[in-house]
Chains A and B, each alone.
Chain A
Amino acid sequence: MNRLILFVLLFLFWVVLTWTAVPPGPAYLQDVGAGLAAALLVTWAVGEKSGTRLAPWLQPQRYAWAIVYFFVLAVYVIKANLDVAYRVLHPAMPIRPGIVRVKTRLRQPAARAALGNSITLCPGTLAVDIHEDGTMMVHWIYVRSLDEAEAGRMIISRFEWFLEKILE
């Protein structure tokens, strides 16, 4: 089942990327054939390792939250860029960097990966590593707290709330 989902997703991705299957172009059959072959090859190579469950994919509220999350993240990305602009253009370069530890309550690998990527795109933080127990090492360009719980509230809590609804 996992493999079937992966295969269908990969093939759809290919179709959009090449855009020949929809209005049949001159090389229509070759493109679809190459897409099927490539999707099969990738499915065969990674299908066994991807631990996708089917049930979460069928819950519409997850998609709704994902869309909300996209816009929330977009606001943080813009803020992050203005923050970088301020720090690098300021003559004195106000930075106070360090690597701090925070702990996430998310368990699913996909949720953790999304959390790490979100942190990296957020103002002043960069996800460096994560341990099995949920301890994350985060590089902070302006460290405001060395306490695990307090830093966690500042860095990851705002995303955990969303990601729990989307990917857990």
Chain B
Amino acid sequence: MTMTDQVGLVIIATGVLFDLLGCIGMVRLPDVYNRLQAGTKCVTLGVCLILTGTAVMADATPIRLKAVLCALFVLITSPTAAHALARAARVSGIRLWEKSVADQFARSK
């Protein structure tokens, strides 16, 4: 195994670790909004790291470029999807966890 492969594998393993943390957050946190927080942040970084590791390990330029493009795509779309889900949940009346300290949400006129 070459040095580049080892670096790539370490990056991919870190990505998988963050994905796992995101999953633990999805299970442990109490409501849809908190779960989205954990899910979005960890999965975004996790997937981006896995793709970066792929780009490091790849032996052809096209694969590297595609991996980087996909990482950028995830970086832009994943928080957008989280916003759409959180907004839809709140607008359709899904309550926050009972120990939440505030809900200053309001619909626009």
A→B interface (CB under 8 Å): 13, 16-17, 19, 77-78, 80-81, 84-85, 87-89, 93, 95-101, 113, 116-118, 120-121, 124-129, 131-132, 135, 137, 139, 141, 143, 146
Q: Main SS of the interface on chain B?
A: helix
CA distance A71 to B100 in the complex (A): 33
- Tally A-B pairs: CB < 8 A: 135
Decide if B44 touches A77 in the complex (CB within 8 Å): yes
A78 pairs with B45, CB closer than 8 A: yes
**Are B40 and A17 in contact, CB atoms less than 8 angstroms apart?**
no
Find out whether the CB atom of B21 lies under 8 angstroms from the CB atom of A84. Answer: yes
B residues sitting closer than 8 Å to A (CB atoms) are: 18, 21-22, 24-25, 28-31, 33-34, 36-38, 40-42, 44-45, 62, 65-66, 69, 75-76, 79-80, 82-83, 86-87, 90-91, 96-97, 99-106, 108
Q: In the bound complex, what is the Cα–Cα distance between A93 and B29 (angstroms)?
A: 8
- Roughly how many angstroms separate A127 CA and B62 CA in the complex, as a whole number? 35
When the two chains form their complex, are residues A128 and B87 in contact, meaning their CB atoms are under 8 A apart? Answer: yes
Interfacial chain A residues near B87, Cβ < 8 Å? 128-129
Asked whether B104 lies within 8 Å of A81 as measured between CB atoms, the reply is no
Evaluate contact between A19 and B28: CB separation under 8 angstroms: no
Cα–Cα, bound, A120→B38 (Å):
10
Distance in Å from the Cβ of A65 to the closest Cβ of chain B?
Answer: 17
- Which interface residue of A87, A120, A131, A141 has the most chain B CB atoms within 10 A? A120
A103: min CB distance to chain B, Å: 12
Q: Write the chain B residue with the least CB distance to A127.
A: B83
List B contacts of A116 (CB < 8 A): 79-80, 83
